[in-house]
C-alpha cells in the first residue's frame, strides 16, 4: 500500500488533491509541509506544528509576507497588504495563499519589513 506521503496528488492524505510546499528560512533551515487543495499555507503549517508568522488571516496585514521562489500560488482573497510592485516582485501572503503546484517559499518575520523598506535609512 502506498502511504499518503508518497502520493504527490494527495499529500495531506485526506482524499483531496494538494501540493508539497517547502518553507525556507533566512538561516537556511527548511521544512516541508503538505497543503491540501484550497487550504492556506498558514493553516497547513499550523496543522503541521511549523511556526511561520501571521496576523489577520485575511490578507490585510502583511505579517505573513513571504517570497515565492518556485511554483505557483493562488490568493483566495484580495492580497490587500501587498502593493502591485510587491506582487510583481514575487511576494505572496501565505495566510490567503494556496499552492497550485508544488512550491518553495522564503519565509520569516523580516520579509514584511524588507518589502516595505525603511524609508529613511
Partner 1 sequence: MSTDNTSHETDEHGHEHHEVEGPGYPTPAAMRTESEREKTAYVMGLRVGMETGGHDFVGVVDLDPDSDTYSELVDTIEMPNKGDELHHFGWNACSSSCHAEGLSRQYLVVPGQRSSRIHIIDAEDPRDPEMVKVIEPEEVFEHDLSAPHTVHCVPGGKIVVSMLGDADGELPGGFLQLDQEDFSIDGHWEADRGGMAMNYDYWYQPRHNVMISSEWAAPNTYYPGFDLDDVEAGNYGDSIHVWDWETREHRQTLEFGEEGLIPLEVRMSHNPEETQGYVGAALSSNVIRFYEGDDGVWDWEVVIDEESREHDDWDMPVPPLITDLLLSLDDQYLFFSNWLHGDVRMYDVSDAGNPRLVDQVWAGGPFGERQQVQGHEIRGAPQMLQLSRDGRRLYWTTSLFSSWDNQFYPEIAEEGSLMLKADVYPEEGRMELDEEFLVDFGDAPGGPARAHEIRWPGGDCTSDVWQ
Contacting residue, 21, 81, 96, 105, with partner 1 by CB under 8 A: 81
Return the number of other C-beta atoms located less than 10 Å from residue 10's C-beta: 18
Site for partner 1, residues 40 to 79, rule: CB under 8 A:
51-58, 60-63, 65, 78
Q: Which is nearer to partner 1, 14 or 30 (CB)?
A: 30
What phi and psi, each to the nearest 5 degrees, are found at residue 119?
A: -60, -25
**Residue selected from 37, 80, 104, 106 as contacting partner 1 according to rule CB under 8 A:** 80
What span, in angstroms and rounded, lies between the C-alpha atoms of 43 and 50? 10
Residue 83 binding partner 1, by CB under 8 A: yes
Q: Are 24 and 111 in contact (CB under 8 A)?
A: no
Does position 116 bind partner 1 by CB under 8 A? Answer: yes
How far is the CA of 121 from the CAs of 30, 105, 117, 118, in angstroms? 31, 27, 9, 6
Contacts with partner 1 by CB under 8 A lie at 51-58, 60-63, 65, 78, 80-83, 108-110, 112-113, 115-121
Amino acid at each position: 500500500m502506498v502511504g499518503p506521503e508518497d502520493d504527490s496528488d494527495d499529500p495531506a492524505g485526506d482524499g483531496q488533491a494538494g501540493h508539497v510546499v517547502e518553507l525556507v528560512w533566512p538561516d537556511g533551515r527548511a521544512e516541508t509541509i503538505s497543503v491540501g487543495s484550497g487550504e492556506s499555507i498558514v493553516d497547513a503549517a499550523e496543522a503541521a506544528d511549523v511556526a511561520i508568522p501571521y496576523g489577520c488571516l485575511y490578507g490585510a496585514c502583511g505579517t505573513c509576507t513571504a517570497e515565492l521562489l518556485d511554483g505557483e500560488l493562488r490568493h483566495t482573497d484580495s492580497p490587500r497588504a501587498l502593493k502591485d510592485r510587491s506582487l510583481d516582485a514575487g511576494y505572496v501572503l501565505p495566510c490567503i495563499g494556496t499552492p497550485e503546484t508544488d512550491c518553495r517559499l522564503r519565509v520569516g518575520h523580516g520579509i514584511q519589513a524588507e518589502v516595505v523598506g525603511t524609508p529613511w535609512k
